[in-house]
């Protein structure tokens, strides 16, 4: 299933970034910044499938030199907080071949260059070795000024002050979705992407969030969800809970209005109001983040904690109870003392434990996690192994497809007349 993604970021000096460094990293090449004298060498960077510079029709050829282009972008700006470039990151459909993915990215860049008069640097990156094998994407670096005969000229219209950047971004997102869908149809692929929000599409699902390279690297290394993902999951859960509460209040209000209408004698209006309330979209009860499921998980956790505490009290009571002696033993006579309740004895026992003993006691009483219980099942382990085997087969097939595409492209380059 094709996935839509387009994000935009400013390459700004105030954030310590430069156009020369951004271009060198994305293209996997070496560029020396003439303004600072710093050399950015990323020639050893892997995963760069292609890097192309796209210019408006009839533009001067000097801008095809990547080093000259991005040094010109740096030298054209004087402010210490200047935006020297703007980057668009797009997801390329995994259903398309590598040749078609590259053609789609270059066509989008050409459309942008002709529309705004800018230079566009397109770098297509392959999926990471440890990440999602379907994550084909392109980094599209665009100048903020128009390409002139001897350098970069005036600011682009979309970069001028007073612009409604939200409207400009919406237009770019819409154009990318349109061109992607056109290319999918041309290749006979039954898939569609949509740039609109889930709410605008009428889809009742929690939106995903781009974690970024740092959080993604942490998850790959530790095989655990990052703090950023956990925070996002908690945020989604809280929002769904608030939405559920708001929907419940609205439902009660509508029901009360219906009762009032019933009492007033307007039965038809009451039925219409109830039908409208029942027709409102509700959160899917099967969703992991449905408020009822969230509440059930919390209740289960509380019940497990209470059971563990009760078991600890019983264990303490058994430990405090003296064992019967096998034979009478003479003991010194002591003044009678009041009997201690099990809870008091348990409290005194816990207070006398060291930190290490307390940790051991907590570990002993803590119930096993749900994830551990699931992972311990033989069927789950078999399914996970089958999934890994299928992913390996899929990666091998993709590698074979890539080699075939490259062979096809080489043949076309060697036989241009026959290829036409």
Range of the domain at 387: 376-414
Q: Are strands 120-125 and 152-155 parallel, antiparallel or unpaired?
A: unpaired
Give the per-residue pLDDT at 130.
64
Q: Is residue 322 part of a domain?
A: no
The verdict on 33 and 148 lying in the same domain is yes
* Segment 127-181, tens digit of pLDDT: 877 666 778 999 999 999 999 999 999 999 999 988 888 999 999 999 999 999 9
Q: Is residue 338 part of a domain?
A: no
The verdict on 34 and 111 lying in the same domain is yes
The verdict on 173 and 257 lying in the same domain is no
Give the per-residue pLDDT at 271.
58
* Segment 64-100, tens digit of pLDDT: 999 999 999 999 999 999 999 999 999 999 999 999 9
**Burial environment of residue 145 by CB neighbours within 10 A (0 to 12, 13 to 18, 19 or more):** buried
Under-70 pLDDT residues of the chain:
1, 130-132, 198-221, 223-291, 293-294, 297, 321-342, 368-377, 418-420
Q: Is residue 148 part of a domain?
A: yes
Angle CA(125)–CA(24)–CA(222) in degrees, nearest 5?
Answer: 55
Provide the b/e sequence for 330-366 (b: ≥16 CB within 10 Å). Answer: eeeeeeeeeeeeeeebbeeeeeeeeeeeeeebeeeee
Q: Is residue 87 part of a domain?
A: yes
The verdict on 30 and 130 lying in the same domain is yes
Give the per-residue pLDDT at 239.
64
Into how many domains does the chain fold?
3
Q: What is the CATH number of the domain that holds 139?
A: 3.30.930.30
Give the per-residue pLDDT at 90.
95
Task: Return d(Cα 332, Cα 310) in angstroms, integer.
Answer: 36
Last residue of a domain, one of 153, 175, 195: 195
Give the per-residue pLDDT at 275.
57
> Which residues does residue 6 pair with via DSSP β-bridges, in sequence order?
90
């Amino acid at each position: 299933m094709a996935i839509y993604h387009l994000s935009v970021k400013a390459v700004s000096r105030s954030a310590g970034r430069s156009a020369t460094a951004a271009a060198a990293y994305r293209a996997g090449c070496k560029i020396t910044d003439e303004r600072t004298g710093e050399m950015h060498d990323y020639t050893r960077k892997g995963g760069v499938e292609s890097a192309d510079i796209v210019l408006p029709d009839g533009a001067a050829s000097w801008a095809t030199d990547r080093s000259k282009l991005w040094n010109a972008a740096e030298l054209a700006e004087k402010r210490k907080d200047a935006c020297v470039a703007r980057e668009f990151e797009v997801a390329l459909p995994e259903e398309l071949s590598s040749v078609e993915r590259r053609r789609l990215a270059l066509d989008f860049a050409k459309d942008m260059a002709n529309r705004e008069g800018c230079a566009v640097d397109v770098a297509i990156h392959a999926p990471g070795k440890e990440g999602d094998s379907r994550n084909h994407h392109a980094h599209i670096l665009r100048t903020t000024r128009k390409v002139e005969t001897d350098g970069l000229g005036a600011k682009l219209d979309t970069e001028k002050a007073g612009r409604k950047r939200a409207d400009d971004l919406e237009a770019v997102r819409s154009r990318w979705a349109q061109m992607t869908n056109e290319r999918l149809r041309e290749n006979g692929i039954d898939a569609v992407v949509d740039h609109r929000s889930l709410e605008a599409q009428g889809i009742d699902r929690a939106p995903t969030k781009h974690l970024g390279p740092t959080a993604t690297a942490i998850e790959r290394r530790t095989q655990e969800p990052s703090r950023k993902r956990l925070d996002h999951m908690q945020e989604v859960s809280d929002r769904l809970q608030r939405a559920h509460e708001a929907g419940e209040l609205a439902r009660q209000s509508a029901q009360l209005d219906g009762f009032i209408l019933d009492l007033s004698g307007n039965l038809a209006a009451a039925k219409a109001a109830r039908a409208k309330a029942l027709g409102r979209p509700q959160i899917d009860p099967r969703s992991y983040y449905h408020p009822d499921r969230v509440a059930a998980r919390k209740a289960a956790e509380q019940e497990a904690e209470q059971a563990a505490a009760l078991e600890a009290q019983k264990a303490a009571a058994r430990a405090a109870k003296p064992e019967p002696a096998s034979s009478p033993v003479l003991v010194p006579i002591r003044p009678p003392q009041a009997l201690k309740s099990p809870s008091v004895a348990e409290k005194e026992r816990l207070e006398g434990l060291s930190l290490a003993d307390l940790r051991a006691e907590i570990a002993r009483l803590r119930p096993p996690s749900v994830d551990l219980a699931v992972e311990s099942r033989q069927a789950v382990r078999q399914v996970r192994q089958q999934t890994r085997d299928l992913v390996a087969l899929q990666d091998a097939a993709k590698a074979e497809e890539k080699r075939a595409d490259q062979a096809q492209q080489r043949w076309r380059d060697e036989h241009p007349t026959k290829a036409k």
